[in-house]
Amino acid sequence: MPNQQVYTSPDRALTFVVEDLGDDDFAIGFRGYKWHTHADILSCVLGLPEDEAVRAYVDLLLADKSIIAIHYVDDVISDVWITEDPASEFECQQANESLQFRYWSGRKYEF
């Protein structure tokens, strides 16, 4: 893999980055936000070698098969992540927080 792979959503709202950190470690997440994951974690979850797990994770995102959570605090985006269970994301929500869910294409996730 190159040092960094960058993907921009069709609506240009999100940028997803796979960054080679060296020593066979990769950080995978949305540019500008704190949430991220690593290749070794994806490998364990998906049961694939790390490089294949990263590729599969990106492919699922780009194919609109992953649900993206967007967390707002006081109407400002504070974090963006991929969620497996959107309903559970509301459990610790505070009064000044809100969540939206979407797919890579920009299509809204409907419960």
Q: What is the pLDDT of residues 31-47, one digit of tens each?
A: 999 999 999 999 999 99
Rounded to whole angstroms, the Cα distance separating 72 from 94 reads: 10
Q: Name which of 69, 71, 61, 72 is nearest 105 in CA terms.
A: 61
Tell me if 32 sits within 8 A of 9, measured CB to CB: no
Tokens coding 103 = 């797919």
Per domain, the residue ranges of the chain are 4-62, 67-102
CA distance 80 to 72: 9
DSSP conformational letter for 49: -
- Per residue in 52-96, pLDDT tens? 999 999 999 999 999 999 999 999 999 999 999 999 999 888 999
What pTM does this model have?
0.92
Task: Look at 99 and 24; give whichever has higher pLDDT.
Answer: 99
